[in-house]
Structure 1
Amino acid sequence: MAANTLIALGSNRRHGRHGSPAGVVAAAVAALDAAGLRVVRRSRTHSTAAVGPGGRRFANAVVAVATDLGPAQVLDVLNGIEAAFGRRGARRWGARVLDLDLLAQGPAVLKTRRLTLPHPRLHQRAFVLDPLVEVAPRWRHPLLGATARQLHARLHRPKAASPSP
């Protein structure tokens, strides 16, 4: 069974049992493994600024897991783990104990009411690409044709200054 599934983890609220957001991310990695999503590679935990008005800094990481489950089944496992960590229907951009996002499953391209693969904004988010390149630098985005390393470089490329009139 190959590491065919990429999952992003994020937290910006303390948890009564797991502590700081970084502790929540570490406990969530263990929970993924315990749920049968065998963690094969894990990035370090990155401290990142919140996107939107959330305010609190996030702890973010990415894991590559090996599983025979299909995307909808993996999503069900992720939703169950989030619920077990106390996540309720979250406000967009709001603080959250745990956020688990299915980024990709191999070269699959999927769009359903519940799930889009690859994640539609992963190539625009440093908090995803920074840890993703540690785990799967050669993973190729099936729609954009670029590797994670290339997407990361594009996102972090210095922007050219606008010419003055």
Structure 2
Amino acid sequence: MLKRQIIEPNDYRDAMARYAGHVQIATTALDGVRRGVTVTAACSVSDNPGTILVCLNHANPNNRIFVDAGVFALNTLTHAQEELASAFAGFGNLDVEARFALGEWDTISTGAPTLSDAAAVFDCRILEAKPVATHMVVIGEVVGLRVGAPGPALLYLDRGYRSL
């Protein structure tokens, strides 16, 4: 029989702080309203067809727009875009338009905002969105793709930005 240990949320977060994650901004738009959030919980699911997942905090009612829009873009950041990552993480208390004003945005296929100088952009149509504990796991099929210029990756580790 498997013994279950009680894991406190703070202990879990402390352990996850040791896990390096690539910093990305997930974006969407619906009826003229844009939304973007900084995430590290995102990964590839499959390469055929190209499929990715991103985890969004569903306690924030503003994140519901991702599911309602049915599309999202995952914008992979370089170290030079740390200020943008911080803004979309909510530091500085900038409103939505001020956050988006820090970068150059366009669209590829779905209409979701895409960062023109991102290391990579995965423009997705949502296949499934499932609540799991505190987050919504959103799985998307990549229907548009852009690979930018290479540069040092922006990572998040030990509660701070790093580059590789």
Q: What range describes the TM-score normalised by the shorter chain of this pair?
A: under 0.3
User: What is the TM-score when the length of structure 1 is the normalising length?
Assistant: 0.26
Query: Which structure's residues are more often helix, by fraction?
Result: 1
Query: Which structure's residues are more often strand, by fraction?
Result: 2
User: What is the TM-score when the length of structure 2 is the normalising length?
Assistant: 0.26
